Amino acid sequence: MKNQKRAVLTALTAVLFWATVASAFKIALGEMDHYHLLLFSTLSSVIILFLMILFQGKSSVLMKINSVDLRFSTLAGLFNPFAYYLILFKSYSLLPAQIAQPLNYTWPIMLVLLSVPFLGQKADRKSLIALIMCLLGVVLISSGGEPGQTVNSFGVFLALLSAVVWGAYWIINMKDKREESVKLFLNFLFGLIYVVVYGLIFSDITLPSVKGLVSAAYVGVFEMGITFFLWSKALKMAESTASVSTLAYLSPLLSLVLIALVLKEKIALTTIAGLLIIIGGILYQKGIIILPGANRRNPR
């Protein structure tokens, strides 16, 4: 049980870090545009990931990379961090955090849908019901919560698109059998190259304020970097993986609390209801919860 307790504590630490990043995104975007947040957070993540490889004594693995490894990383880095965070940060710049964060959280359902054409999996009845639940949650969240209130439709589109991109990245990641820390570092290294090239073509690269740099570094470390390893470590230590993995669903709920406390956003009831429906759909699709009558056999 000692390992299980350590696994739960480690997982909760990761969940708490993830719960802070939506607020961190908005704070950073108050100091810089979405591109510069992407640039400096990605740079921070590359540095922290490299230091973690050195700390783990795995630097020798970097000397053994081959052309197949490089091809995987050039493709994976294009999806994450480049495309995913470029889209996600832009959506946060257009939407309140309480709307952008739950919409992005539809990625597990997007992953299921993408698995049909790319992994040859079948969309069963359970997945379709979960999809309908998530779509209902999206509609509620996108309503804005107040009569007559308008929500930036392009921002909503980008938040949902980020979930699609993240799902596509995880399909690529499933086929990449390299050691986790090394492949993540290489993916982000190539992603940083894409980010810099994008900036040279489409933006002016400038230094933000000290507050902006600190916020971007926080995002790079706790959204993109170290938290991933805490979560992976928790899953490896756990005697029951399912009991630990479900803790991830605390993150968006805790995030709403922090959004209200830190950003002073008034959380709409439609946001809470929509997020709960989305989480319910995901948990139902994973078989963690059962809807009344959903699995009853028809009498013969």
Residue 120, pLDDT above cutoff 70: yes
Residue length, the chain? 300
Residue 17, pLDDT above cutoff 90: yes
CA-to-CA dists, residue 97 to 74, 118, 151, angstroms: 31, 31, 12
Residue 239 confidence (pLDDT): 74
Residue 281, pLDDT above cutoff 90: no
CB neighbour class for 31 (10 Å; exposed up to 12, middle 13-18, buried from 19): middle
Residue 89 confidence (pLDDT): 97
Residue 236, pLDDT above cutoff 80: no
Residue 145 confidence (pLDDT): 66
Residues 191, 82 contacting (CB under 8 angstroms): yes
Give the tens place of pLDDT for each residue, 133-152: 888 888 888 877 665 567 89
Higher pLDDT: 32 or 113? It is 32
Residue 262, pLDDT above cutoff 90: yes
Q: What are the residue boundaries of the structural domains of the chain, listed by start?
A: 97-151+268-299
Give the tens place of pLDDT for each residue, 167-206: 898 888 877 777 778 888 999 999 999 999 999 999 888 8
Give the tens place of pLDDT for each residue, 151-175: 899 999 999 999 999 989 888 887 7
DSSP string computed for 214-230: HHHHHHIIIIIIHHHHH
Provide the Cα torsion 45, 232, 245, 85; round to 10°: 20
Distance between CA atoms of residues 89 and 84, nearest Å: 9
For residue 267, give the 3-state DSSP assignment: coil
Higher pLDDT: 260 or 112? It is 260
Residues 164, 118 contacting (CB under 8 angstroms): no
Residue 242, pLDDT above cutoff 70: no
Residue 232 confidence (pLDDT): 75
Over range 234-263, report the average pLDDT.
Answer: 82
* Confidence (pTM): 0.87
Residue 1, pLDDT above cutoff 60: no
Q: Which residues contact 33 (CB under 8 A, 6 or more apart)?
A: 93, 203
Q: Token pair 């990383």 is at which residue?
A: 73
Give the mean pLDDT of the chain. 86
Closest to 89 measured CA to CA, from 228, 231, 219, 250: 219
Give the tens place of pLDDT for each residue, 211-230: 999 999 999 999 888 887 78
Over range 84-109, report the average pLDDT.
Answer: 92
